[in-house]
Structure 1
């Protein structure tokens, strides 16, 4: 079973085991050579990932996840960044608006309208 923590953005990513790499790749009936061609690596590299002799890099794992339907794990990171950017903009707007309202209130009180 592929662990959820292997299917997340790079900052939170836990590298999959060789068993998880095999399980993901076996989702599709591709030969190892077809996988190598799809990902753009040598056949020996695919074999090393599957046996655990070499740890799979994030970009290649993300590509396998996308191709096998396990998810677009890059998109998850992009979504988080978009949410953070929107929150930052909203916070800046709120602070700016609050400062303007405070200034307006001070102006009203200093002019003796109240």
Structure 2
């Protein structure tokens, strides 16, 4: 078995308010692999339930639908990529001043 890791773009590993970019399906697959999870286990981790839960994971991997930031952040944490959602309160306030929500 190879130790080859697919590259995950840095802009996918930042807080949402700092310009998070949607990961590709390949990146989603890689994060699930690094976490050591099956599709079903990944679904449970991010709070998906029901018979369509595993299918939703496959949709994210295929690029058929986008993964929500919260689900991505949980998977990144499980994969050992850190708490990508953390941001200092003062930094967040400054970002909001620069880019107000309408």
Q: Normalising by the residue count of structure 1, what TM-score does the alignment of the two structures yield?
A: 0.66
Structure that is richer in helix per residue = 1
User: Which residue is equivalent to 1:56?
Assistant: 67
Partner SS for 2:35: coil
The aligned length equals: 82
- Structure 1, gaps ≥5 residues long: 86-114
Alignment equivalent of 1:71, drawn from 82, 85, 88: 82
Alignment equivalent of 1:44, drawn from 55, 79, 88: 55
Partner SS for 2:73: helix
RMSD (Å) for aligned C-alpha atoms: 1.5
- Structure 2, gaps ≥5 residues long: 1-6, 94-102
* Off by >4 Å, runs of 4+ in structure 1: none
* 1:71 shift after superposition: 1.3
